[in-house]
Structure 1
Amino acid sequence: MDITDAIDKRLPYRVGYPILPTLPVRHEKCNIERYVRDYSNLVRRVSAVLNDLRIPFHHMEGCLRFHEGDHIEQDVTFLVTARYDFNDKECQTTWIEAVKRIHAYFLKSKITFKIEIIDQKLFFGRNLIKPIFSSEEKILKATAEIMPQLVNEIKTYAWVTVDVVHCYSPLRGKKHPTIIISARDTSKPSWWSTALPSIRKMIADAQSDLDLVLLFLNGLSLLPLDSQRRQGLEYAPYHPGRLIGTSCGLLKSPHCGSVGGVIRLEKDGNRLVLGLTNCHVLLDDFVISQNGNMGPYPPGPLLKDFVVISPSDADRKTEIQSIKSWVKDRPLATNTLAKLWSEKAEQPSQEIGTVFAASGYTTCNSASDRSAGQSDTTKTAKPPLDSNWPLDWCLFQLKSDSLSQLYTDIKTTWRRLEPHRSYKVCKTGRTTGTTAGHVSAVVSLLNHEGMYGNKPVTAHNVIYAHDSMYHLKYRGHFMLSGDSGSLVLLDETEATPIVGLCFASNPATKAAYMIPMEQVVKSINEVTGGKVVDPEEDVSEL
C-alpha cells in the first residue's frame, strides 16, 4: 500500500501519517500496552528502521496528540523525536521513507497508530519568542510593506492573530524573525497550497528573509480555567493591605481577573476614586445579555447593582479548599494555628466596590499622527490599515474601606508608546504575579471578529495591540489567563509610568496583548463625560 500522497509533509521538520493536527497540540501520555501486546518489540522494530536510515532519534513514545475539543481516546500517535539536520537537503525525504516503513510494519502487525516524526528541539521547548527591537529597521520596513497585502490574502480565513517575533526555526537551527499567523481553520488545504505560498512571495518581493509559520489557535486566552487558578497558601489570591494586582470578580460570578490600578476621575465637580480592570472580567455575561449592544456603557442605573469583590468567588472557593487541606494534612499543627487557618477559610470575600462604567467590546481609532521628527524608516512603518485599537476596560467605584488598601498619596503617571519602538515593561497580576518583559517594535494584528466568542463587535475587524513577551519564570509567558486587567508599567525609568492595560494572551505564540493607556484614558473621558486627573500624562523625554 503506497501512502506517499497521504503523508503529511507540509513542514520539513515534522512529517507523519495521516495528516497531523497543526502545531501546537496538546500532548498526553497514554497506557500504550492497552493497544499493543508487545510494546518492547514495537520499539525494537521502529528503532531498527530509524537506525537503518541513519536518523539520529532522541526518544519515542505512544501518546495522544490533539487540539482542544478533538480528543479521541483510541486515536494514539506513535511519536518519534529526532534531530532535524537543516544542512541536509535530503533530511525530510529520509524521514518520509521512515514513515512509510513504520506504517508498513504497523499495517502488517494490525497496529492502527498514527505516526509522527518531529524535530526534537522544537518538541522539547525551543519555542520561547523574543520581540522585534527598534534597531531592526529592515524588519520594520518589510512588515509595513507586507502586512496590508497579508491581511487581504487571509481575509476569508478564520485567522485570530498575526505576530512578528523572533522564534526558533528548525530550518536555521536558531531564532529568526518570523511572521506567525494563528488561526482556527489551519486544517484547510488552501492555507498550505495557496495562502502561505502567496505570503512567502510577498516576503520575497519585499526583499526580506522573514520566516513564515502557521499555528492553530482556537481563540485568545481571556478568562482562566480551573487549572489556572492559583493554588496553595503561599499563592493566596489576595493579600491584606494590598489591592492592586490581586484577584477580583463580580459577586456570584464564575469569572475572575486582576485589579489593575486606580483611576481618579473629575466629574460634575466631584473627584471619584475608581478601580480599573477589563470589561470581560466583570461584565462578560452582562454584555451577552444586551442583544447586540456591545457598548460602551456610561455611568447610570444600568450598572450600579454589579458588586465587585476581591478575591473572586471562584478564587475564594479554591482558597478555602487549600486552607482546609493545609489543616487536614498537618495533624501535629497546634490547635491555635489550625483554628486560625480554619477561621480564615470562613471569612467572606471583601466587597470592594460597584461597577461605574465600561467600554464594552468596542474599538477606537488610533491617536493623532505624531510622526514629526521620526526617522524615514519609522514613518514608512506606520500601521498600514485603519489603525483601530481594542477597548476592553471597566471602572468600579471603590468603597471607602477599600481605599485604605491603596497608597492614596502616591501620584501615578501614564505615557504614550510609539508604535515602532521596543520597551522594557513589567506588570503585576493575579495568576503570574510580577513579570518582566519587552514590548515588541512591531504591533500585532488581531481579528476582532470572534475575539469574544460569538459576540458581535462594533468596528473594523482588523485591530492592533501592542504585544509583550518573554519571561522565563513562566516558560515565556508575560501574562496568563486571570492576569487580564493588569496594568503594564514602563520599566525604563524610576517613575515607572503606566503604558498599557493587559487584556488577552496567545497560548500558541505566548505573546500577551495590551491596549495603549493613551487609548484607555481617551475612552474613559469620552464614555464617562469626566476627565482622568490621576494618572496624568508623563511627557518627559525617555
Structure 2
Amino acid sequence: MQSNTNPAIDTRVPYRTGWPILPVLPVEESHAEITTYFRNPGSVELEICSILKKHSLNHHDFGLCHRLNKGVPLDGQRPTMRIISEKETDSKEARIKAVEEIKCLFERENADVAVEIILSEAYVGFDTDIILSTERDLILQWKSLWTKIEKTIAIHDYLTLDLVRRGEQNRPTFLIGARDANDESWWSTTLPMLRKMVPADIDLELCFLDSVELTGSARRDSVDDCSYLSIGASCGNRGGTRAGTLGGFVELERDGRPLGQFGVSNCHVLGKGIIQGVSDLSVVSPADKDHNKAVSDAQLDIDKKYDRIKDLIKTITDIPSKIPLLELQLDRLHLRMRDAMTVLHLNRRIGDLFAWQMQTTKNDTFDENYRKLLESDSMHDDTYRWALDWCLVRLGMPQERCIDNKALMPDENGKLGIYAPVTEYCEMDPTENYDVVKYGRTSGRTLGVVSAVPSVVRLTANTTDKFGAPTLCRSIVGNKRHTNLFLEPGDSGSLVLLNRRGKRNAQIVGLGFGRNYQISYMQPMDLVLRAMEKKTGAKVTMPTFAGLATSSQDQRRPANSKA
C-alpha cells in the first residue's frame, strides 16, 4: 500500500496510479468511443502524449475504455483513459503528476473520464508461482500466520487466501481474493493491520474475486465422439443451465455386492440444482448448453456448405471442370448432415445422481503428517476444516455408448503415447510439490504443479457464517510452458492425475473444484473417497490405493525466475 498527499489520486498499489479511486484489479476491459466524450479527440491525445513526455513516462499504448470488475453493469459508468507505461522510465511521483495534469485536461474538456496509468506487467497480469517444498522458511511462515490472517479478514467477504510467489521478482505474497475488495475499510484498516503482522519480505495483495466456482461460463466448440463417455466429458443436469466436467469413474460395493460404476464430478456442478430444488436427478453428457451449441454449429456449417454447392452449380455449365469439385462438396455435405443427425438425436442421458456433498471435514491424515514433518504442533484447530465438493452419478447409459476410463500419459521419454487406465489413487505429502495433469470439459489437457502449502477457500454450504466457512484445499498453478491456467470455467469436476513418465496406470491425487485466476484448487482424492464411503455406506473398490504419491523431481525455479 502507498500513502498519498492527494486523497483524490489512487496510489494504493505501487504499480498503478489513477483518478478517482479505481476498481481493484482484475477488471474486464471494453472499448469506449472517444468521440462520444471529446469534441476534438486528436488534440486531446496529443496533449496526453505531451504530458507523458514532460514527465518522462514512456508508454506502450493508451486508449479510452471501460474498466470494470466482473459483473458490474456498463450503464452509467464513466470510461477510463487507460495508459500502459514502461517500467524502465516509471516513477510513482511522475505518475501522480501526470494523472493530476490529465485530470485537469479532462475537466477543461468537460469530460467525465477517469485516468489510469498502469505498468505493463500489471496490465497483462502478474505471473503466479507455487511455493516449493525446499522453501521451508515460507512453509513455516504460512503455518504460523494463516490462521491469524484469516481471523483478521473474516469480517470481510473474502473468498480465497493463498501464499504464492508473484510478479517479475517472484516475491512471496499473501494473496487475498474478495468480493468486497473495493470497500474502503480493506485499505484504511484491514490491510494496514495485516502489514504489521506479516514480515516485510512477504508482500500483501488484495484482488477482486466474485466466485471460485467454474461452471458453464465457457462453451465447447463441438461435442466429442458420441459413442464414448470419457474422462473430462461435458456434463450437466437435464434441463439445467450449468455445465461442468465428468472427471472420471469409481466403482462401489456394499455388503460384498457390486453396486456398479459411477461418474464423479462436483456437487456445485450437478448437485446444486437439486439442493436448490430447480433440477431433477437426471444427468446428461454433453450438458444441454454444449449440446445445443454443437447442434447450432452443425447447422451453420451445413448452411455454408449448401451455399457453396449452390454457387458451384451456377458455374458448372460454363466450367465443366468444376464437376469433381461439386461432387466432393456434395460428399462432404452428406457426411456433415449424417454427423449432425447423430448429434441431434443422441441419447445423452447417462444416469441419475446417487450421492452428493458440499461441506467441510477434518483431514486427520494430512494434519498428522504435517505435524511430524514440521516437528511442531497441529497445523490447525478443529475450527479449520477441509473443503468437500463432490457428487456421484449412477451410470445407466444406452448400449450405443461405452465408458472410456483411460488418460493419455507420457512414456519413458516424455512423449504422449500411453493410454493408461485411471484405476489408482494416492495420498499426497503435505509439504511436497507434485507434477499433475487434468482433462477438462473446457480446456482439455493441461499441466500444473501442486504447491507445498495449502490454500484457504470459503465455502457457503452447511454453515451459519455470514460469508461462509474457511476451508483448506491444495492449490495448483499451470505449467507456464504449456498454459498459465490449470482450470478454466467449465472444468470443475476434473480429476487431477499425477503426471509421471512411463506409468501404466494413471494415479488420481485430487478433484478440481475452483480457481482464483491463475491459482486452481483441488480436494485431496483420498479425502473425497473416504467421504464417499461414509456418505453412501459403500466401499470404493476402484480406484485402488497406490500409497504415497511420487513428488516432483525438479525443485529448481525456472531460469527466468529472480527468486
TM-score grouping bracket, smaller chain normalisation: 0.7 to 0.9
Query: Contact 1:140–1:378 at 8 Å: present in 2 too?
Result: no
CA drift at 1:443: 0.6
SS at match of 1:68: coil
User: Which residue in 2 is equivalent to 1:230?
Assistant: 220
The correspondence for 2:493, drawn from 475, 482, 485, is 485
The separation in 1 between residues aligned to 2:56 and 2:275, in whole angstroms, is: 59
Q: Calculate the TM-score normalised by the size of structure 2.
A: 0.83
1:307 aligns with 2:305: no
Listed one character per residue, the Cα deviations across residues 386-424 of structure 1 (whole Å, up to 9, x for unaligned) are 441111111111126467333599571111112221111
User: Which residue in 2 is equivalent to 1:504?
Assistant: 514
User: Which residue in 1 is equivalent to 2:295?
Assistant: 320
SS at match of 1:537: strand
The separation in 1 between residues aligned to 2:124 and 2:270, in whole angstroms, is: 37
The separation in 2 between residues aligned to 1:363 and 1:541, in whole angstroms, is: 24
CA drift at 1:456: 6.0
Query: Contact 1:141–1:380 at 8 Å: present in 2 too?
Result: no
* More deviation, 307-316/344-353: 344-353
Structure-2 change in CA distance of 1:384 and 1:281 (3 Å): same
1:194 aligns with 2:193: no
The correspondence for 2:38, drawn from 20, 36, 46, is 36
CA drift at 1:321: 0.6
The structure whose residues are more often strand, as a share, is 2
1:57 aligns with 2:55: no
SS at match of 1:28: strand
Query: Contact 1:316–1:349 at 8 Å: present in 2 too?
Result: no
CA drift at 1:230: 1.1
Query: Contact 2:28–2:67 at 8 Å: present in 1 too?
Result: yes
Q: Calculate the TM-score normalised by the size of structure 1.
A: 0.87
Structure-2 change in CA distance of 1:416 and 1:541 (3 Å): closer
The separation in 2 between residues aligned to 1:115 and 1:307, in whole angstroms, is: 51
The separation in 1 between residues aligned to 2:39 and 2:109, in whole angstroms, is: 11
- The 5-angstrom pairing of residues 246-395 of structure 1 reads 246-272=233-259, 273-289=261-277, 306-330=281-305, 331-332=308-309, 333-334=329-330, 335-359=333-357, 361-368=358-365, 371=368, 377=374, 379=376, 382-383=379-380, 386-395=383-392
- The 5-angstrom pairing of residues 161-180 of structure 1 reads 161-168=160-167, 173-180=168-175
Query: Contact 2:426–2:549 at 8 Å: present in 1 too?
Result: no
Number of residues of Structure 1 aligned to a counterpart in Structure 2: 506
Q: Considering only CA atoms, is the larger Rg found in Structure 1 or Structure 2?
A: 2
Query: Contact 1:7–1:19 at 8 Å: present in 2 too?
Result: yes
The correspondence for 1:213, drawn from 205, 222, 229, is 205
Q: Match of 1:79, as an amino acid?
A: R
The separation in 2 between residues aligned to 1:109 and 1:400, in whole angstroms, is: 66
- The 5-angstrom pairing of residues 84-95 of structure 1 reads 84=87, 91-95=91-95
User: Which residue in 1 is equivalent to 2:525?
Assistant: 517
Q: Match of 1:5, as an amino acid?
A: P
1:464 aligns with 2:492: no
Query: Contact 1:140–1:381 at 8 Å: present in 2 too?
Result: no
Query: Contact 2:487–2:520 at 8 Å: present in 1 too?
Result: yes
Structure-2 change in CA distance of 1:540 and 1:103 (3 Å): closer
SS at match of 2:137: helix
Listed one character per residue, the Cα deviations across residues 143-192 of structure 1 (whole Å, up to 9, x for unaligned) are 11111211121111111100111221xxxx42222110011112222211
* More deviation, 475-484/2-11: 2-11
The correspondence for 1:426, drawn from 431, 437, 444, is 437
The separation in 2 between residues aligned to 1:84 and 1:538, in whole angstroms, is: 50
SS at match of 2:129: coil
User: Which residue in 1 is equivalent to 2:230?
Assistant: 243
Query: Contact 2:367–2:379 at 8 Å: present in 1 too?
Result: no
User: Which residue in 2 is equivalent to 1:397?
Assistant: 394
Q: Match of 2:262, as an amino acid?
A: L
Q: Match of 2:507, as an amino acid?
A: P
Query: Contact 1:128–1:470 at 8 Å: present in 2 too?
Result: no
Structure-2 change in CA distance of 1:405 and 1:502 (3 Å): same
CA drift at 1:193: 2.1
Structure-2 change in CA distance of 1:381 and 1:396 (3 Å): same
CA drift at 1:260: 1.2
Q: Match of 1:144, as an amino acid?
A: K
Query: Contact 2:436–2:449 at 8 Å: present in 1 too?
Result: yes
1:413 aligns with 2:424: yes
User: Which residue in 2 is equivalent to 1:295?
Assistant: none
Structure 2 residue runs of 5 or longer lacking an equivalent are: 310-328, 407-419, 551-563
Q: Match of 1:193, as an amino acid?
A: S
CA drift at 1:252: 1.4
SS at match of 1:438: strand
Structure-2 change in CA distance of 1:162 and 1:345 (3 Å): same
Query: Contact 2:427–2:549 at 8 Å: present in 1 too?
Result: no
Listed one character per residue, the Cα deviations across residues 482-504 of structure 1 (whole Å, up to 9, x for unaligned) are 11111100113614310111111
Structure-2 change in CA distance of 1:369 and 1:257 (3 Å): closer
Q: Match of 1:287, as an amino acid?
A: I
Query: Contact 1:12–1:92 at 8 Å: present in 2 too?
Result: yes
The separation in 1 between residues aligned to 2:364 and 2:42, in whole angstroms, is: 64
User: Which residue in 2 is equivalent to 1:294?
Assistant: none
1:14 aligns with 2:16: yes
SS at match of 2:171: strand
- The 5-angstrom pairing of residues 61-210 of structure 1 reads 61-73=63-75, 75-84=78-87, 91-125=91-125, 127-168=126-167, 173-204=168-199, 209-210=201-202
The separation in 1 between residues aligned to 2:302 and 2:257, in whole angstroms, is: 48
Q: Match of 1:504, as an amino acid?
A: G
The separation in 1 between residues aligned to 2:270 and 2:455, in whole angstroms, is: 25
The separation in 1 between residues aligned to 2:164 and 2:198, in whole angstroms, is: 15
